Structure 1
Amino acid sequence: MSGRDDRALREERLLERLMSTSSTMTGVCVALLSVVQLIADSRKVQTLADDALAIDSLFFLLCCYLSIWALRTQRRERTRLLAVAVDYLFLIGMTGLVVIGFMIVYTIF
C-alpha cells in the first residue's frame, strides 16, 4: 500500500470515529440542555448555558453531516477540505462543552 492510500485510509477511519463521537455528543448536549433547563426553572435562575448548549449541539450535528459528506464524496481534495472542517468543528464543540460545564457549575450550583 502506498503512502497516499495509507493516509486516505487513516483519514477515513478518523472521519468515521468523529462522526460516531459527534452524534453521541449531540445527544449529550441535548440531554444536558433539558437538565439545565429543569434546574434553572426550579431555582428561578436564567443562564446562558442552555443557549450555549443548543449552539454546541449544532456544531456537533454539523460535524456529523460533514463527516458523512466527506466519506461519500469521490474527490480527494474535497474530502481533505471537509476533514479539516470536521476537525475544527469537533474541537470547537468539545471546547465549548467544557466552557459550558464551567458556566453550569458557577451559575446554577
Structure 2
Amino acid sequence: MQTPEQRNQLDEQTCRMICPISAAMVGVCLTGIGLLRVVAAVERTATLADDLLALDAILFLVATLVSYFALRVPKRLHRLERIADAAFIASMTLLTAVCFFITYSVQT
C-alpha cells in the first residue's frame, strides 16, 4: 500500500510526463492536418479527418495547460491532475481513432 507522500510523488511524475508529451502531440496533429490538406488540395476532396485532428490538437492543448497549472499551483490540486490525465487519455484515444479513419477511408 502506498503512503500519501508516494501517491503525491506519482501524481506529480504523471503530470510532468503529460505536459511535454501532450505539447509534442499538438505538433503531430498539426503535421497530420497539413498533410491531409495537401492531399485534399491535390485530389480536390474533403475529409473529416483534418477536423478531427484539429479537435484532437485542442484536447492535447487542454491536457498540456491543465498539467502545467497542476504543477505550478503552490497547493497541489489533485483534481487538475485527474483532469489532465483524462484529457490526455481522451486525446490519445481520438488520435488512434483518426488514424484508423484515415487508413480505412483511403480510396484505391
* TM-score, normalised via structure 2 length: 0.91
- Runs of 4+ off more than 4 Å: none
**Higher share in helix:** 1
Q: How many residues in Structure 1 have an aligned counterpart in Structure 2?
A: 106
Distance in 1 (CA, whole Å) between partners of 2:73 and 2:3 is: 20
- Can you give the 5+ residue segments of structure 1 that lack an aligned partner in the other structure? none
Q: Cα deviations across residues 31-75 of structure 1 (Å, max 9, x unaligned)?
A: 111001111211112111011100100000111100110001123
Partner amino acid, structure 2, of 1:97: L
* TM-score, normalised via structure 1 length: 0.90
| 2:106 alignment partner in structure 1 | 108
Q: Are positions 1:4 and 2:8 aligned together?
A: no
Q: Cα deviations across residues 3-54 of structure 1 (Å, max 9, x unaligned)?
A: 2121111111110001111011111001111001111211112111011100
Identical positions, percent: 30
- Can you give the 5+ residue segments of structure 2 that lack an aligned partner in the other structure? none
